[in-house]
Amino acid sequence: MNKYITNGIILMSAAMLCLSCQQNAVTKDEESIYDKTDAYVLDMMDSLDIIGLNYCVLIDGKLMHKKAFGLANYEHEVPMTQDHLFAVASMSKLFSSMALHKLLKDNNRNVNETVSEFLPERKDLPVSWTASSLKSLLSHSSGIPDQIDYQIYLAPDSEDVVIEALQNKPFSSAPGETNKYNATGFLLIRMIIEELAGQDFESYMQENYFDQLNLSKANYGGFKKVVPHRVKSYRMVGEHLEMFPLNYSSPMYAAAGLNINMEELVVWTQAVLDGKIISKEELTPIWKPVVLNNGKPGYFGLGWHTYELGNGISMTGHGGAGISVIRHYYKENSKETVTVILLTNGARNWLKSPDDVNMGIANFFMPGVLD
């Protein structure tokens, strides 16, 4: 064989070996950081006595790692898997928010319009409520009476029950004065979605999101509904671990009631991050904290819990029932992003919140999140 050809083959083989070594080194580094996050999560499970969980990490929108630990059903010792569905509670608001913003865009409407402009035929609503802007409802700054304050939880028999019970109740604050988590606001948001869509909320979400994104397992329903492969949720009551009855009814599905597994939640999250629902540019004002009357930013954007952490890092997302949370971390003027989804079915001791654990995971990939 020609010596130049022979030398070329040797050099090419050496280059390929070098490239292979570099790739193996990267793989080992990646494995190392995911081993560390797994160890951290297992340590948190042990110290907080979490029953079971799924977690995943997306880097720049790409799924890089996911794991399931613990039990999906404590009393029957059913191991947790990545196929299990979770009742994600208020994380449902993110789905509703994105659906609403898409409808607003399609109908040439905007968040500064008032409830009365969206629902002119609803004469049963108090005038003080209908003067509220959609922006104030999404940012929990409207001040309208919150049904939870009056022990009307998230499974009312009908929207009429909520309206009749609260129509003479005072506002908790002046509009725009403060952020106060408000379930009644999302009752109105569901009505507005139905008005813009021309159909009921559940059917609209099924046809336009679950079916379109092939989310075949996602569905709405409270703990009384039989949902195959859904985890059982738990909480501590006094010194005893009890079932957590996450109960919801259709009037409140824009606020809570979604059941979904990690795989399908990741698919939906990627659709958001990839601009498949609305453009990436249109996400910017949605993720920007709404400015309150005092000129300071609140801690809600337009349906998303969002604020600046410092170090140029911002965070947006939502929690669910105090046991699960999705957070998207990003830097201004940078394409670098980290998304961490943490779904649990409860714990005996939330000395650290799911938010804290989520941020602890994110800090491995975006140092400064915890500073």
pLDDT, position 239? 96
Residue 94: C-alpha distances to residues 18, 36, 119, 212, 305 (Å): 46, 30, 22, 17, 9
pLDDT, position 334? 87
Which tokens sit at 273?
């991050």
Domain of residue 230 covers: 33-365
pLDDT, position 310? 83
What DSSP line would sit under 74-90, residue for residue? Answer: TTTTEEP-TT-EEE-GG
27: confidence class by pLDDT, cuts 50, 70, 90: low
Spell out the alpha helix ranges (H) of the chain: 3-48, 92-106, 115-118, 127-130, 134-138, 159-166, 183-197, 201-205, 262-273, 280-286, 354-365
pLDDT, mean of residues 145-167: 98
Is the pLDDT reported for residue 149 higher than 60?
A: yes
Is the pLDDT reported for residue 109 higher than 50?
A: yes
> Does residue 17 lie within any of the structural domains?
no
pTM over 0.75: yes
pLDDT, position 112? 98
Q: How many domains does the chain have?
A: 1
pLDDT, mean of residues 107-124: 98
> Does residue 8 lie within any of the structural domains?
no
Tens-place pLDDT, residues 243-266: 999 999 999 999 999 999 999 999
> Does residue 200 lie within any of the structural domains?
yes
> Does residue 10 lie within any of the structural domains?
no
* Range of weakest confidence among 14-18, 124-128, 149-153, 184-188: 14-18
Is the pLDDT reported for residue 162 higher than 50?
A: yes
> Does residue 336 lie within any of the structural domains?
yes
* Range of weakest confidence among 29-33, 196-200, 272-276: 29-33
CB atoms within 10 A of CB 48: 19
> Does residue 370 lie within any of the structural domains?
no
In whole angstroms, give the CA distance from residue 162 to residue 9: 78
Is the pLDDT reported for residue 135 higher than 50?
A: yes
Is the pLDDT reported for residue 13 higher than 60?
A: no
Is the pLDDT reported for residue 7 higher than 70?
A: no
pLDDT, mean of residues 69-78: 98
> Does residue 23 lie within any of the structural domains?
no
Q: Nearest 5 degrees, angle CA 65-CA 228-CA 38?
A: 20
Is the pLDDT reported for residue 15 higher than 50?
A: no
- For residue 124, the domain's CATH number is 3.40.710.10
pLDDT, position 28? 60
Among residues 333, 145, 348, which one has the least CA distance to residue 238?
A: 348
pLDDT, mean of residues 183-187: 98
CA atoms within 13 A on the CB side of 231: 33
Is the pLDDT reported for residue 4 higher than 70?
A: no
Question: Can you tell me which residue has the tokens 């259709």?
Answer: 250
pLDDT, mean of residues 26-50: 89
Is the pLDDT reported for residue 11 higher than 80?
A: no
Is the pLDDT reported for residue 30 higher than 90?
A: no
> Does residue 131 lie within any of the structural domains?
yes
pLDDT, position 25? 40
Tens-place pLDDT, residues 294-320: 999 999 999 999 989 988 999 999 999
Is the pLDDT reported for residue 72 higher than 50?
A: yes
